[in-house]
């Protein structure tokens, strides 16, 4: 019996001990003692070799019965060097949260259990949520800290190649192919390549830009990150403590260059990935790369990781009569600097982050700007409202906070974000009321789940206000609804009331197509149909086809914020290492 009056560390360890005893024979009576009826278990590779969330005591019991005989989980102990068990509030529920370590037949892992009293069972403490996540494979641990490689200084060959010679040879791939080809050199590509490097998996990053970091450096002039520095560290190499709270794009781009050098990542710039075909018999790809000089290289990696972002193709919708416009027409991905448009007139179509930021940049540069809204948009002030979701990162260690983020099952994360959205609406009431007065159409996400789930389901549809909303309320930036436009003419937009919005520039801030469009372009219909949608949840509790094996063996996807890439790159790399060592099958559902 777990007594609520006991020290919470004792109670948490008692639960873990009972879970370990019961996990080999998860009978209904045993699970009744351990899990609430409405409980969640998220397993990240540790027992299932999948990223999966299970809901409900009976479902959890069935999965434990199927997985534990082979996984053989054991040695469940409160983690001695992590945050101690404590009472916290998660998703509106007061709960004991305990971080623990454990082992399986193949690896070592970390987890979090959240215990709450069950009033239907004498306030016995039972699991509300459980996370079991794989950290490392036994025998294939990362070479970090005291296990770091010795390097050449330990045994020098004065006539042989030095470190730089070896690095150049590694990067050139003159006589070999990489095991893994990563397409895209932003935070996703760098994070997964760094993880694979530590697991001794030969990995090459290719990116079409001419300089490492250009995928940030070439964005519009005023861009800075919208979340704070403490959330955004890269794996193994945190940002210096004197960095600004909000990182400018060029500073981040330069850090990417330094990161590639420091982490010894193999990176080909100016290289276009033209597509590939998979050989089922050989278990490898044939891919074509076009280099900056126009030459082509065929390679045969065993794995291709698409790290091109949530989406890679600009969404340029067909807008009837837009081709009548004779001024400059740009997608937001090609917009650079408002200084080029001082004294000119601009229409920005789209009211997500990019549309607002570009409109503000143009206005600040002395352009006359009209922002055109196509659909309702979530608006929240960048401080404090937009930062509420990251509150845990303001205290504790990055390692603990990443595990906490990993541990939250999607239904409870949604509940949390509904609460945060309601809090934001109160904090931002004056601004939101002002926007409503001038005709701006607001929404707050599906079922009020806010900006985070807009990002996770569609990759946009919200704005973190850094001043543009205030300019709209004040009238410094004009606001029009797309539904009020009759059509486009040579010098701008003709409105249904007969007036014309004159423009020298129209910027389409209309987002990007889903990633499956890029898959179809690069790999063909067969593979695109086999893989299916990428990103979003569909009817499930995990992001579709992200960070995990897909229905196409050897094809992987990683995308998202810096934090998402930092966290999930570890799990993606562990799967590839397990496949390469013969521990895990390449096909979904095999082990």
Model confidence at 147: pLDDT above 90: no
Give 145's pLDDT tier (boundaries 50, 70, 90): confident
Least confident of 64-68, 346-350, 567-571: 64-68
For range 17-35, the mean pLDDT: 82
207 and 185 Cβ atoms separated by less than 8 Å: yes
- Please report the pLDDT score of residue 152 as a whole number: 58
- Please report the pLDDT score of residue 372 as a whole number: 98
Task: Write the pLDDT tens digit of every residue in 570-587.
Answer: 999 999 999 999 999 988
Model confidence at 191: pLDDT above 50: yes
Give 524's pLDDT tier (boundaries 50, 70, 90): very high
For range 376-384, the mean pLDDT: 96
Tokens of 275: 């597509």
- Please report the pLDDT score of residue 278 as a whole number: 98
Task: Write the pLDDT tens digit of every residue in 48-83.
Answer: 999 999 999 999 999 998 999 999 999 999 999 999
For range 174-181, the mean pLDDT: 97
Rounded to 10 degrees, the C-alpha dihedral 480/457/510/375 comes to -20
- Please report the pLDDT score of residue 155 as a whole number: 58
β-sheet bridge partners, residue 463: 379
Determine the Cα–Cα distance for residues 199 and 211; give it in Å rounded to an integer.
26
Q: Within its chain, how far is the Cα of 131 from the centroid?
A: 19
pTM, whole model, 2 decimals? 0.94
Tokens of 333: 């991905």
E strand or H helix at 99, and its extent?
A: strand 93-103
Give the chain's radius of gyration (CA, Å). Answer: 26
Q: Within its chain, how far is the Cα of 72 from the centroid?
A: 31
For range 389-411, the mean pLDDT: 96
Give the percent of the chain with pLDDT over 70. 96
Average pLDDT over all residues of the chain = 94
What DSSP state is assigned to residue 233?
P
- Please report the pLDDT score of residue 591 as a whole number: 75
Model confidence at 22: pLDDT above 80: yes
**Residue 498 CB coordination number (10 Å):** 7
Residue reference for tokens 């521990």? 583
Task: Write the pLDDT tens digit of every residue in 543-557.
Answer: 999 999 999 999 999
- Please report the pLDDT score of residue 29 as a whole number: 73
Determine the Cα–Cα distance for residues 505 and 498; give it in Å rounded to an integer.
21
- Please report the pLDDT score of residue 167 as a whole number: 93
- Please report the pLDDT score of residue 149 as a whole number: 74
Model confidence at 409: pLDDT above 50: yes
- What the chain holds in terms of domains, given with CATH numbers, is 8-137 (3.10.450.50), 171-312+514-580 (3.50.50.60), 318-510 (3.50.50.60)
- Please report the pLDDT score of residue 23 as a whole number: 80
Least confident of 10-14, 66-70, 254-258, 409-413: 66-70
Model confidence at 223: pLDDT above 90: no
Model confidence at 539: pLDDT above 90: no
For range 318-334, the mean pLDDT: 95
Model confidence at 2: pLDDT above 50: no
CA of 357: how far to CAs of 48, 64, 240, in Å?
43, 49, 27
For range 403-408, the mean pLDDT: 98
- Please report the pLDDT score of residue 151 as a whole number: 66
For range 363-388, the mean pLDDT: 96
Least confident of 21-25, 452-456, 514-518: 21-25
For range 438-446, the mean pLDDT: 97
For range 92-97, the mean pLDDT: 97
Tokens of 247: 């990182």
Q: What angle do CA 3, 57, 454 make, to 5 degrees?
A: 110
Q: Within its chain, how far is the Cα of 102 from the centroid?
A: 26
Determine the Cα–Cα distance for residues 513 and 460; give it in Å rounded to an integer.
11
Give 160's pLDDT tier (boundaries 50, 70, 90): confident
- Please report the pLDDT score of residue 309 as a whole number: 81
Give 277's pLDDT tier (boundaries 50, 70, 90): very high
Q: What angle do CA 354, 358, 360 make, to 5 degrees?
A: 120
Tokens of 293: 């000089």
Model confidence at 33: pLDDT above 60: yes
For range 283-298, the mean pLDDT: 96
25 exposure class (CB count in 10 Å sphere: 0-12, 13-18, 19+): exposed
């Amino acid at each position: 019996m777990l007594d609520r009056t006991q020290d919470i560390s004792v109670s948490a360890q008692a639960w873990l001990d009972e879970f370990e005893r019961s996990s080999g024979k998860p009978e209904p009576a045993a699970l009744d003692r351990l899990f609430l009826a409405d409980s969640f278990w998220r397993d990240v590779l540790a027992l299932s070799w999948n990223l999966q969330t299970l809901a409900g005591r009976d479902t959890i019991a069935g999965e434990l019965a199927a997985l534990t005989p082979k996984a053989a989980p054991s040695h469940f102990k409160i983690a001695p060097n992590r945050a101690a068990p404590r009472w916290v509030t998660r998703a509106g529920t007061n709960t004991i949260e305990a971080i623990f370590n454990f082992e399986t037949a193949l690896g070592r892992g970390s987890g979090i259990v959240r215990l709450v009293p069950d009033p239907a069972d004498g306030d016995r403490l039972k699991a509300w949520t459980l996370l079991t996540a794989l950290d490392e494979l036994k025998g294939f641990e990362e070479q970090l800290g005291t296990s770091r490689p010795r390097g050449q200084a330990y045994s020098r060959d004065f006539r042989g190649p030095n470190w730089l010679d070896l690095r150049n040879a590694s990067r050139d791939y003159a006589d070999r192919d990489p095991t893994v080809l990563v397409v895209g050199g932003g935070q996703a590509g760098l994070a997964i390549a760094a993880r694979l490097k530590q697991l001794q998996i030969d990995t090459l990053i290719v990116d079409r830009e001419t300089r490492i970091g250009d995928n940030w450096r070439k964005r519009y002039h005023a861009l800075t990150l919208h979340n704070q520095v403490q959330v955004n560290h890269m794996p193994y190499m945190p940002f210096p403590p004197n960095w600004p709270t909000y990182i400018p794009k060029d500073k981040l781009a330069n850090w990417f260059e330094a990161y590639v050098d420091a982490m010894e990542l193999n990176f080909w710039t100016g290289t276009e990935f033209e597509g590939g075909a998979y050989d089922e018999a050989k278990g490898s790809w044939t891919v074509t790369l076009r280099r900056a000089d126009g030459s082509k290289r065929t390679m045969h990696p065993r794995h291709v990781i698409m790290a091109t972002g949530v989406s890679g193709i600009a969404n340029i919708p067909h807008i009837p009569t837009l081709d009548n416009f004779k001024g400059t027409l740009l997608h937001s991905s090609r917009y650079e600097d408002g200084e080029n448009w001082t004294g000119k007139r601009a229409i920005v179509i789209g009211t997500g982050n990019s549309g607002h930021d570009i409109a503000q940049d143009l206005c600040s540069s002395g352009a006359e700007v009209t922002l055109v809204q196509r659909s309702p948009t979530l608006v929240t002030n960048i401080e404090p409202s937009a930062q509420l979701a990251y509150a845990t990162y303001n205290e504790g260690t990055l390692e603990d906070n990443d595990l906490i983020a990993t541990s939250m099952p999607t239904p409870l994360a949604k509940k949390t974000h509904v609460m945060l959205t309601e809090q934001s609406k109160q904090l931002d009431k004056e601004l939101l009321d002002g926007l409503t007065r001038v005709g701006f159409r607001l929404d707050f996400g599906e079922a009020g789940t806010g900006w985070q789930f807009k990002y996770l389901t569609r990759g946009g549809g919200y704005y973190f206000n850094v001043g543009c909303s205030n300019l709209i309320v004040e009238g410094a930036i004009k606001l029009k609804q797309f539904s009020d436009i009759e059509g486009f003419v040579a010098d701008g937009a003709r409105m249904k009331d007969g007036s014309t919005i004159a423009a020298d520039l129209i910027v389409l801030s209309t987002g990007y197509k889903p990633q499956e469009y890029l898959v179809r372009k690069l790999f063909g219909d067969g593979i695109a149909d086999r893989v299916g949608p990428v990103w979003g949840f569909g009817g499930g509790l995990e992001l579709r086809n992200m960070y995990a094996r897909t229905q196409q063996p050897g094809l992987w996807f990683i995308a998202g914020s810096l934090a998402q890439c930092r966290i999930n790159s570890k799990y993606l790399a562990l799967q590839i290492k397990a496949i390469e060592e013969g521990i895990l099958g390449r096909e979904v559902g095999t082990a």
